[in-house]
Amino acid sequence: MNLYLETLLFTSDIVVPIFFIVFLGYLLRRYRVIDEGFVTTSSRLVFTITLPALVFMSISQTDFKAVFNPQLLLLFAAFTLATVALLWWFSGRMKLAANARGVFVQGAFRGNFGIVGLAVCFNMFAEPGLAQASVVLACVIPLYNVLSVLVLSIPRQDSRVSPRKIIRDIITNPLILSVVFAMPFSYNGWHLPVIGDAIGNYFASLTLPLALLAIGGSLDLKSLRNSSVTAGWATALKLVIIPVAGTLLAWLYGFRGQDVGILMVLYACPTAAASFVMAKAMQGDAQLAANIILTTTLGCVLTLSGGIYLLRLWQVI
């Protein structure tokens, strides 16, 4: 019991501040300190500038050669592709609206590994865990963003949306471009000039507060009740079903210790704030995206700490 309480407190220290900023955004919108214009503008700013800066700075400062594990990355990629295919089939059976289907799929598979995940891995495994998790992040970002663009684009196929446009959306996605530009720095050990490093860190530090305030400002508690079934399914899949299946597969495949711990955290993280930003930018159901982020962020305090506790109890990590 003491181990579980310690794990719960440690996970809460990471997740509660995130939820607090979301709640602050909700209060600021309710009392008209911020408005819809702020939510739209800040979401666009995060998507095009600050989040790509955060991704670039995180990856470019990591020693790629030291922590590269191709088997781990291949397992993650294969499991993610299979998961998205099953989620797409399941969303079709749910008969969701076109602008909600892709948002549901994205919300169920796309975790906040870049913010919550890295922090948890560092607290679990210190610097070696953070270094390996950062390299995993270099694979996570392009794969998640390509899949997100696809699931958000395909349901709205009409005369204005062609396969060529989908491909253009993928190759011009700011987050994917940030990974492409960061990899040579990580692989070759290059460094930005001091001024460039300072500017990049300034932009990167804006990402979390802006994104979370925008999410809070878009929340509608009445809408949360109305979308409870859809958001509830996405939450159960994101926090319980997918992490259990992914961690069990990793263990059966032979991963142990830090490797299986990182994969468990990767699958069990709450839905990424970037999913709201992308859903809004691509005319998806941004309200549903915000609701999924809220419910998974609240729920992961228990589920993520529970997963860490069980892995420690069974001496897997």
Domain at 2-313: CATH architecture: Up-down Bundle (1.20)
Write down the pLDDT at residue 81.
97
C-alpha to C-alpha distance for 30 and 24, rounded to whole angstroms: 10
Q: What average pLDDT does the chain have? A: 86
Write down the pLDDT at residue 34.
93
**Do residues 247 and 260 make contact, with C-beta atoms less than 8 angstroms apart?**
yes
Amino acid at 268: A
Write down the pLDDT at residue 47.
84
Is residue 280 pLDDT above 50, yes or no? yes
Is residue 230 pLDDT above 80, yes or no? yes
The pTM score is 0.81
Exposure class string for 208-232: b at 16+ Cβ within 10 A, else e: bebbbbbbbbbbeeebbeebeebbe
Q: How many Cα atoms are found within 13 Å in the side-chain-facing hemisphere of 52? A: 18
What are 149-191's pLDDT values in tens digits?
A: 889 888 765 545 567 777 787 788 888 888 889 989 988 989 9
Confidence of residue 248 (pLDDT cuts 50, 70, 90): very high
Write down the pLDDT at residue 65.
76
What are 47-62's pLDDT values in tens digits?
A: 899 988 988 988 888 8
Q: How many Cα atoms are found within 13 Å in the side-chain-facing hemisphere of 56? A: 27
Is residue 125 pLDDT above 50, yes or no? yes
C-alpha to C-alpha distance for 284 and 185, rounded to whole angstroms: 34
Write down the pLDDT at residue 159.
43
Find how far residue 58's CA is from the centre of its chain. 15
Q: Compare 10 and 190 and report the one with higher pLDDT.
A: 190
Write down the pLDDT at residue 22.
85
Tokens of 280: 């809004």
Write down the pLDDT at residue 158.
52
State residue 205 phi and psi, 5-degree precision: -70, -15
Is residue 114 pLDDT above 50, yes or no? yes
Eight-class DSSP state of 173: -
Write down the pLDDT at residue 108.
97
Write down the pLDDT at residue 51.
85
**Do residues 62 and 128 make contact, with C-beta atoms less than 8 angstroms apart?**
no
Is residue 67 pLDDT above 80, yes or no? no
Is residue 118 pLDDT above 50, yes or no? yes
| Residue of 119, 85, 38 whose CA lies nearest to 304 | 119
What are 179-228's pLDDT values in tens digits?
A: 889 989 988 989 999 999 999 999 989 988 898 898 888 877 776 666 67
Is residue 110 pLDDT above 50, yes or no? yes
Backbone conformation region of residue 28, classed left if phi is above 0, alpha if psi is from -120 to 50, else beta: alpha
**Do residues 45 and 281 make contact, with C-beta atoms less than 8 angstroms apart?**
no
C-alpha to C-alpha distance for 223 and 291, rounded to whole angstroms: 8
CB atoms near residue 252 (< 10 Å): 8
